[in-house]
Amino acid sequence: MLNGKRILLVIGGGIAAYKVLELIRRLREQGVGLDVVMTKAAKQFVTPLSVASLSGSKVFDDLFSLTDETEMGHIQLSRAADLVVVAPATADLLARMAQGLADDLAATFLLATDKKILVAPAMNLRMWLHPATRRNVETLRRDGVLFVGPDEGEMACGEYGPGRMSEPAAILGAIATALNGETKIALPPGVGAAPGEKPLAGRHVVVTSGPTHEPIDPVRYIGNRSSGKQGHAIAAAAAAAGADVTLVSGPVALADPPGVTTVHVETAAQMAAAVEAALPADIFIATAAVADWRVEAAAPQKIKKSAVLPHFALAENPDILAAVAQRRSGRPRLVVGFAAETESILAHARDKLARKQCDIIVANDVGGAEGAMGKDENQITLITPSGAETWPKMRKEDVAAKLVRHLAQLLRERLDA
């Protein structure tokens, strides 16, 4: 599938650059022709000699090389490739791309190319989650730049979280997808868009899922019975529909969905901070069952049982859905909340829609033996200012797929308006 293709590889300056040598080897095995541009910082991690030896071609690194620039080399390179791959794409390189800078050969090439660009980000998790990086990533996605990763794992600095560059095999698969127009992520039938359809391609979706646990003491907490099944299914469906998905998950016994950046939190305050760090986004879906209250002063040690019953002062937790829906700047185009109710479901959902000022409330019954919490099936009603639409009971994966298709259509209509 890749034989005879030509790729221009831009190597950024990060410790993950060592993985690029394996990527080059795999590309050459597939019959791919390579041109390589290295930033000045990249040469601190891998040598041009190593890269040239594996790629079988000259390494370019100087914007002002008289030999190359007599024929406007950076313009020719930018037009000869079938695809441009940036790996590792550091926070600095993403920022320069988003701003349209042309201060070295790599940046100039990226600005001059008329071909698709695929980037494999690699940076510290705090850098990846920083609002500035999120803004730059969102800008690049809107410009049509494709992303693979980053993955979650242990960093060279010792921290753990999202920011690791994807492995060479994953990048190779993303290259094949970009060149051959394949579906971004292969998931089971019924999850996400139909094969070949990517209605959320280039969009960023933030999803919250699961419960929050608010500590009483080191061994006890205030929580609820949310399993996270619906939220995780929605995150997977959005990824299958082509979106870049950030899933902010409370404590659940579920695996992270494939192709999704998952941020694990415990408390409502942590979830609020993670959501804020993940924005901006095109769609925000607040599926999590966030605890309304927390213990104002959690005990530092386990509270021992005694004849005197303990008394706890409760404080109100941050209202994540309302905070996102009522943002004065950078509000997602679609803000979707969930209403888990046990009685007067539609009335409470309509009240929540008005109070939170979101676009849609997804109402479901969580009361009694037939309630949705922790189950594999769900029956929902979509509440909007213009009315209500009840869907039949179905598996949560199917609910997620249908909901994502519905939101993709609404987003397209809003963008076209």
- pLDDT attached to residue 178: 81
Find the mean pLDDT for residues 376-385: 91
For 29-81, what is each residue's pLDDT tens digit?
Answer: 888 888 889 888 888 888 888 888 888 888 887 765 545 554 545 566 667 78
Question: How would residue 393 be classed by pLDDT, with cut points 50, 70 and 90?
Answer: confident
Matching CATH topology for 6-180 and 204-416? yes
Q: Which of 21-25, 27-31, 229-233 has the highest mean pLDDT?
A: 229-233
**Per-residue pLDDT at 115:** 86
pLDDT of residue 381: 93
Q: What is the 3-state secondary structure (H, E, C) of the chain?
A: CCCCCEEEEEECCCHHHHHHHHHHHHHHHCCCEEEEEECCCHHHCCCHHHHHHHHCCCEECCCCCHHHHCCCHHHHHHHHCCEEEEEEECHHHHHHHHHCCCCCHHHHHHHHCCCCEEEEECCCHHHHHCHHHHHHHHHHHHCCCEECCCEEEECCCCCEEEEECCCHHHHHHHHHHHHHCCCCCCCCCCCCCCCCCCCCCCCEEEEEECECCEEEECCEEECCCCCCHHHHHHHHHHHHCCCEEEEEECCCCCCCCCCCEEEECCCHHHHHHHHHHHCCCCEEEECCECCCEEECCCCCCCCCCCCCCCCCCEEECCCHHHHHHCCCCCCCCEEEEEEEECCCHHHHHHHHHHHHCCCEEEEEECCCCCCCCCCCEECEEEEECCEEEECCCEEHHHHHHHHHHHHHHHHHHHHHC
Report how far residue 6's alpha carbon sits from residue 132's, in angstroms, rounded to the nearest whole number: 33
The question of whether 157 is a catalytic residue gets the answer yes
Whole-number pLDDT of residue 75: 65
Question: Model confidence at 185, in pLDDT bands (50, 70, 90)?
Answer: very low
Res 229: pLDDT? 93
What's the pLDDT tens digit per position in 162-180? 788 888 888 887 888 788 6
Residues 235-253 pLDDT 10s:
999 998 999 999 999 999 8
- What are the residue boundaries of the structural domains of the chain, listed by start? 6-180, 204-416
Average of per-residue pLDDT across 4-13: 88
Question: Which one of the listed residues 1, 80, 157, 219 is annotated catalytic?
Answer: 157
Beta strands 160-164 and 360-365, pairing class:
unpaired
What does the pLDDT look like over 90-133, one tens digit per residue?
999 999 999 898 888 888 888 888 888 999 999 988 888 888 89
Distance in angstroms (rounded) separating the CA atoms of residues 177 and 199: 16
Distance in angstroms (rounded) separating the CA atoms of residues 113 and 83? 10
- Establish how many alpha carbons lie within 13 A of residue 91's alpha carbon, considering only the half-sphere containing its beta carbon: 15
**Within a 10 A sphere around the Cβ of 376, how many other Cβ atoms?**
12
* CA 382 to chain centroid: 25
pLDDT tens readout for residues 262-310 = 999 999 999 999 999 999 999 999 999 999 999 999 999 999 988 888 8
Q: Residues annotated as binding site? A: 292, 302, 318-321, 338, 352, 356
Q: How confident is the model at residue 216 (pLDDT cuts 50, 70, 90)?
A: very high
pTM: 0.56
CATH ID of 204-416, from 3.40.50.10300, 3.40.30.10, 3.90.79.10, 1.10.3720.10:
3.40.50.10300
Encoding tokens for residue 205?
Answer: 């979706």
pLDDT of residue 231: 95
Per-residue model confidence (pLDDT) at position 66: 44
> What is the C-alpha to C-alpha distance for residues 216 and 214, in angstroms, rounded to an integer?
7
Q: At what angle do helices 396-416 and 229-240 cross, to 10 degrees?
A: 50
* Residues contributing to the annotated binding site for CTP: 292, 302, 318-321, 338, 352, 356
Provide, rounded to the nearest whole percent, the portion of the chain with pLDDT above 70.
88
Q: What is the pLDDT of residue 237?
A: 92
The chain-wide mean pLDDT, for the chain, equals: 85
For 6-180, the fitting CATH number among 3.40.50.970, 3.40.50.150, 3.30.460.80, 3.40.50.1950 is 3.40.50.1950
Statement: residue 318 has pLDDT above 70: yes
Tokens 């937790």 found at? 317
Which residues on neighbouring strands pair with residue 315, listed in sequence order?
294
